[in-house]
Amino acid sequence: MSMNPFCEIALEEALRVKESGAASEVVIVSMGNEKCTEVLRTGLAMGADRGIHVATERPLYPLAVAKLLQALVRKEEPGLLLLGKQAIDDDCNQTGQMVAGFLNWPQGTFASKVKVDKSENCVHVEREIDGGLESLRLQLPAVITTDLRLNQPRYATLPNIMKAKKKPIAKVTPEELQVEITEDFDILEVVEPDKRKAGVMLSSVDELLDKLKNEAHVL
Amino acid sequence: MSGFYSSRGVRKLVFEVILRRKANAFTQHSKFSTSSLLDNTLTQFKESVYQFAKENIAPHAATIDSTNSFPKGVNLWRLMGDFHLHGITAPEEFGGMGLGYLYHCVAMEEISRASGSVGLSYGAHSNLCINQLVRNGNSVQKEKYLPKLISGEHVGALAMSEPNSGSDVVSMKCKADRVEGGYILNGNKMWCTNGPTANTLIIYAKTNVNAGSKGITAFIIEKGMKGFNTAQKLDKLGMRGSDTCELVFENCFVPEENVLGEEGKGVYVMMSGLDLERLVLAAGPVGLMQASLDTVLPYVRQREQFGTPIGEFQLIQGKLADMYASLQASRSFVYAVASQCDGGYVDRKDCAATILFTSENATKVALQAIQCLGGNGYINEYPTGRLLRDAKLYEIGAGTCEIRRMLIGRELYKSG
């Protein structure tokens, strides 16, 4: 199993924040079955300090993940929560926003630039939005979700892979965190969007006006 | 390692979530699993080297072959050194990793998968030179030569063969005459990988021309030593870009502190080195076979004839199966013998058998790869031709298959 690419970017940013002196520890979390430990080992090999595996065989959707994260945040009290903007299997793009809502923390999503200002206890985030770039100043603690152009994740080099073997991965269950995972919805069906119908070739502007008026009803 | 402070303002834990990612199309065929042979750490390492090689070495593979040289704009030796690939079997005090041959074979396989030429040069540098220094050098020599070789600042090489002494390497004529303070070397060496660029070379010469194998001594030569020159870069069928040349010694003075091991004991250095050389280089063909499948699989899924992807036809599927089985068997054999060597037991015939097996398999697999691509396999725009030309080298270098067969057969006959 491999790490979600946006999460790799989030981890890389976390490591850079720590290397800049603004943070003392990078803790990584993964939720699911045993295979999560592989992903955590990769993260530790990149340079994270310790890992937490929330062990469950149940399928996890963003709402459940956000609740579990809220519980972990209450326990660990981090100053900054970094997530990938979305997972590439379901492309939900919800978890970061939901957990910020639960915690009532400020959020900077689709971050393409992150700069922590320790003296002001805030973080400056530049976000990629449809209209261009938006600059935000968030009071810490805050939630940031990362976008593609934020950074280029580092390789896990052999010395770090060897060091990672000694780093701890703590295991915890949703029950221990007092979070109930409910399956809030059923997937009834998954369909492809309707195929685009072929366009119609018109012979004159009159014909176009006629169609716009009488068929499309936009005039 | 963790800092637990009380106030949130002072302690900033940075928290991050990694969601599970399902396997998707583009990583699937990179994970042929012989994963039961490798533990988690080795699997991580293999994946890491694969990514590194895919991004930093593979893009240059075709140009390296067509220009017959390493890329100019990027220093691959340094890049590999920064990634801690050169000193895998060297002690940590010199910048090495202090690990074993299984790790080295895994690295060799993934680099070779990206580029056969870079793999071969890497093998010559990290095993033939660096590992020989690690095994036979005294502390002064290790201190002097290893750090720069391991960082990639210096390139290493080794030369034993001569224009007239290939398989019959003990018949070498390169002489080392004893003089005050050292030796004077005269002679030639042939087919020296990395010869043109190497800063540090291990050379075998006869200190006693009449003593046969007992007259050989190993020396450490430095680029720039008076009387030592490299002749023309050789124009090879394959492994192009892995620079190979003839070495020329004309009254080259070598100080006595540059004797590697002991005078007259060079044959031990050479033969025991050859065992491990064969093992590590045996991973090269494994990488080439993997590269063959990396090319063939997407092609047969996409290329259609008679209204169907050719991968649906049984004859093609038969070829895929044969290629796969050869790859897996070769890989398993190399990993198993490497583990055995790491456990302290180096068996001469096992080491020779690995490269005998993997090299001949790689040539056959590369031929099948060309066949799967059909007419396109014959076009140099596709990598399959290069894979074949690169694979063929491994049936020759590090002792030809004929020598390997003779050696294994003889050992079995003696003590089987």
Residue B390 assigned ligand-binding role:
no
Question: Which residues of B are marked as active site?
Answer: 277
Going by pLDDT thresholds of 50, 70 and 90, the confidence category of residue B29 is very low
Q: pLDDT per residue over A119-129, tens digit each? A: 999 999 999 88
Residue B399 assigned ligand-binding role:
yes
Q: Give CB contacts under 8 A, 24+ apart, made by B356-359.
A: B356/B401, B356/B404, B356/B405, B356/B408, B357/B282, B357/B329, B357/B330, B357/B333, B358/B282, B358/B283, B358/B284, B358/B285, B358/B286, B358/B289, B358/B330, B358/B333, B358/B334, B358/B394, B359/B282, B359/B285, B359/B391, B359/B394, B359/B395, B359/B401
Q: Is the pLDDT of residue B39 over 80?
A: yes
Average pLDDT, rounded, for chain B:
91
Higher pLDDT, B288 or B31: B288
Is A29's CB within 8 Å of B17's CB?
A: yes
Distance from CA of B19 to the nearest CA of A (A): 6
The stretch A151-160 carries a mean pLDDT of 92
ipTM: 0.77
Chain B residues within 8 A of A3 when measuring between CB atoms = 18, 21
Question: How many CA within 13 A on the CB side of residue B271?
Answer: 16
Going by pLDDT thresholds of 50, 70 and 90, the confidence category of residue B12 is very low
Q: pLDDT per residue over A95-112, tens digit each? A: 999 999 999 999 999 999
C-alpha–C-alpha distance, residues B240 and B390, integer Å: 8
3-class SS string, B237-277: CCCCCCCEEEEEEEEEEEEHHHEECCCCCHHHHHHHHHHHH
Q: Give CB contacts under 8 A, 24+ apart, made by B40-47.
A: B40/A38, B40/A41, B41/A161, B41/A162, B41/A165, B42/B102, B42/B103, B42/B106, B44/A41, B44/A42, B44/A45, B44/A156, B44/A161, B44/A164, B45/A158, B45/A161, B45/B103, B45/B106, B45/B107, B46/B106, B46/B109, B46/B110, B47/A2
Q: pLDDT per residue over B180-226, tens digit each? A: 999 999 999 999 999 999 999 999 999 999 999 999 999 999 999 99
Residue B277 assigned ligand-binding role:
yes
Is A89's CB within 8 Å of B22's CB?
A: yes
Residue B27 has what pLDDT? 37
Determine what percent of chain B is predicted with pLDDT higher than 90. Answer: 88
- Per the DSSP assignment, residues forming a β-bridge with B184 are B177, B253
Residue B338 has what pLDDT? 97
Residue B23 has its nearest CB partner, among A1, A40, A121, at A1
Distance from CA of B149 to the nearest CA of A (A): 18
How many CB pairs below 8 Å do chains A and B form together? 170
Q: pLDDT per residue over A163-172, tens digit each? A: 999 999 999 9
Residue B24 has what pLDDT? 33
Structure-token pair, residue A60: 């996890």
Give the DSSP letter of residue B218.
E
Residue B58 has what pLDDT? 97
The stretch B66-80 carries a mean pLDDT of 96
Least reliable range by pLDDT among A175-189, B252-266, B343-357: A175-189
Q: pLDDT per residue over B278-313, tens digit each? A: 999 999 999 999 999 999 999 999 999 999 999 999
The stretch B328-335 carries a mean pLDDT of 96
Q: pLDDT per residue over A46-86, tens digit each? A: 999 999 999 999 889 999 999 999 999 999 999 999 999 99
Chain A residues within 8 A of B16 when measuring between CB atoms = 7, 10-11, 14, 26-29, 48, 81-83
Determine what percent of chain A is predicted with pLDDT higher than 90. Answer: 77
Q: Is the pLDDT of residue B332 over 80?
A: yes
Least reliable range by pLDDT among A147-151, B3-7, B75-79: B3-7
Is A25's CB within 8 Å of B13's CB?
A: yes
Question: To which H or E segment does residue A93 belong?
Answer: none
Is B24's CB within 8 Å of A81's CB?
A: no
Going by pLDDT thresholds of 50, 70 and 90, the confidence category of residue B34 is low
Residue B8 has its nearest CB partner, among A5, A39, A79, at A79
Q: Is the pLDDT of residue B118 over 90?
A: yes
Distance from CA of A60 to the nearest CA of B (A): 10
Is B15's CB within 8 Å of A11's CB?
A: no
Is A79's CB within 8 Å of B20's CB?
A: no
Chain A residues within 8 A of B17 when measuring between CB atoms = 7, 10, 28-31, 65, 69, 81-84, 95
- Per the DSSP assignment, residues forming a β-bridge with A30 are A53, B18
Question: How many CA within 13 A on the CB side of residue B359?
Answer: 26
Residue A27 has its nearest CB partner, among B9, B15, B97, at B15
Residue B30 has what pLDDT? 43
Determine what percent of chain B is predicted with pLDDT higher than 70. Answer: 91
Residue B353 has what pLDDT? 98
Is A158's CB within 8 Å of B20's CB?
A: no
Chain B residues within 8 A of A155 when measuring between CB atoms = 48, 51-52, 83
Q: Is the pLDDT of residue B5 over 70?
A: no
Residue B286 has what pLDDT? 98
Classify each residue of A157-196 as buried b or exposed e, where b means 16 or more C-beta atoms within 10 Å of its C-beta: bbebbbebeebebeebebeebebebeeeeeeeeeeeeeee
Residue B213 assigned ligand-binding role:
yes
Residue B35 has what pLDDT? 61
Q: pLDDT per residue over B237-248, tens digit each? A: 999 999 999 999
Residue A182 has what pLDDT? 83
